[in-house]
Amino acid sequence: MSSEHPGTRSPPGADSAMVSGTVPRLRIGFVLLDQFTLTAFSGLIDAVRLAADLGGRSRQIDASWTVMSVGGQARRSSCGVLVTPNEDLRDPTSFDYVAVCGGNDYLNDVQPARLTDYLRRAVFGRVRLLGVCTGTFAIAHAGLVGSRRVCVHWNVLDAFRERFPTVNAAVDQLFIDEGDLITCAGSTAAIDLGLYLVGRHCGGQKARQAVRHMMLQDIRSAALPQAHFYANLDGIADIRVRQASHFIEQRLDSPPSVEAIARYVGVSARQLERAFQAALGVSPAAFQRRLRLDYGRWLLENTRRSITDIAFDCGFADTAHFSRDFKAQFGRMPSKARGPAPGS
């Protein structure tokens, strides 16, 4: 971004569409919030940028982007990098989408009235909203979610539900498209969202062009669940069991009760027990225990963390309980399961 005064500097290639006589097929206005996450913001904007032109030249031909903030002031990202936007909040009807990029400031329940008003004007003008990372908090704060389902990062799910208890929030997807509202978990899922939008508006060839530039293997589906650590849960056919499995996976350090898991899925504890037995041949509690131990083994083999810390990370009260269950599962003590030092 420019270091010049906001409002005086156009984004790179902004005049390209005028010069070529074309109108960008995808126009996104980015609104940066305090402590926004760089990965999500840069991933989304770069997916669009690399599809907009040929050879990574960044001319805004097939797609355009404008970076804004309330007041046009610089915003500090969650890692401390200061980013100067192109301008203050522009008329939202200039865009196809307004992307609200949040980050670590989601616990702040005070939202600028100008931001709330801007988002509402966007909706009134039939401009679609993108909730990126915790930008979804700002959209919900403005009262613009309604009955739609939203996607949030697993790390902020509890905070979101506590603050917006009537909103249907989920972590079993990378992003959720509800038509005029698309919400994204953030992090690298923002790249997938960007590629999805490019494919929709500019075509699959342009999306694949961006994939090649970003050296990605493929475009991930929105329906791919967020992963806390590597575990192959995609082969579970029963959607209730699959959702419960991912709910468990994202809370390994604080294992939920079977009743809490069942409430999340929307079934009774007895129904969940039967579904797990039919799909996997084990109870939810046994599945949860195995997943925690698998995670513990992965940490032992791939990190230098202490066994005590690993035990806590896997939801065990102490090392003794972890060691006992680990030996019962794998036939050896955790101290014997250490892999080589990372990088050796």
275: pLDDT confidence band, cut at 50, 70 and 90? very high
Tokens of 256: 């939920």
Torsion of CA 228, 230, 234, 236, to 10 degrees: -90
- Rounded Cα gap, residues 280 and 238, in angstroms: 10
Residue 310 confidence (pLDDT) above 50: yes
Helix (H) or strand (E) segment spanning residue 68: strand 63-68
Residue 343 confidence (pLDDT) above 80: no
Asked if the domains 16-213 and 239-336 are classified in one and the same CATH topology, the answer is no
What is the maximum alpha-carbon separation in the chain?
71
- CATH code: domain 16-213 is 3.40.50.880
Cα 156 to its chain centre, rounded Å, is: 10
Q: Tell me: the pLDDT tens digits for 125-165?
A: 999 999 999 999 999 999 999 999 999 997 788 789 899 99
The pLDDT value given to residue 3: 37
Q: Tell me: the pLDDT tens digits for 215-254?
A: 998 888 887 767 655 456 657 889 899 889 888 987 888 8
Q: What is the mean pLDDT of the chain?
A: 90
The pLDDT value given to residue 234: 59
Which stretch of 9-13, 138-142, 273-277 has the lowest confidence by average pLDDT? 9-13
CA distances from 209 to 47, 66, 157, 303 (A): 9, 21, 34, 36
- Rounded Cα gap, residues 195 and 186, in angstroms: 14
239-336 folds as Arc Repressor Mutant, subunit A (1.10.10)
- Rounded Cα gap, residues 140 and 138, in angstroms: 5
The pLDDT value given to residue 6: 38
26-53: average pLDDT: 98
The pLDDT value given to residue 165: 94
Helix (H) or strand (E) segment spanning residue 298: helix 284-302
CA distances from 103 to 16, 72, 126, 239 (A): 31, 18, 26, 30
To the nearest whole percent, how much of the chain has pLDDT over 70? 89
Domain regions of the chain by residue span: 16-213, 239-336
Q: Tell me: the pLDDT tens digits for 157-189?
A: 878 989 999 999 987 789 999 999 999 999 999
Q: Tell me: the pLDDT tens digits for 282-294?
A: 999 999 999 999 9
Residue 8 confidence (pLDDT) above 60: no
Q: Tell me: the pLDDT tens digits for 56-100?
A: 899 999 999 999 999 999 999 999 999 999 999 999 999 999 999
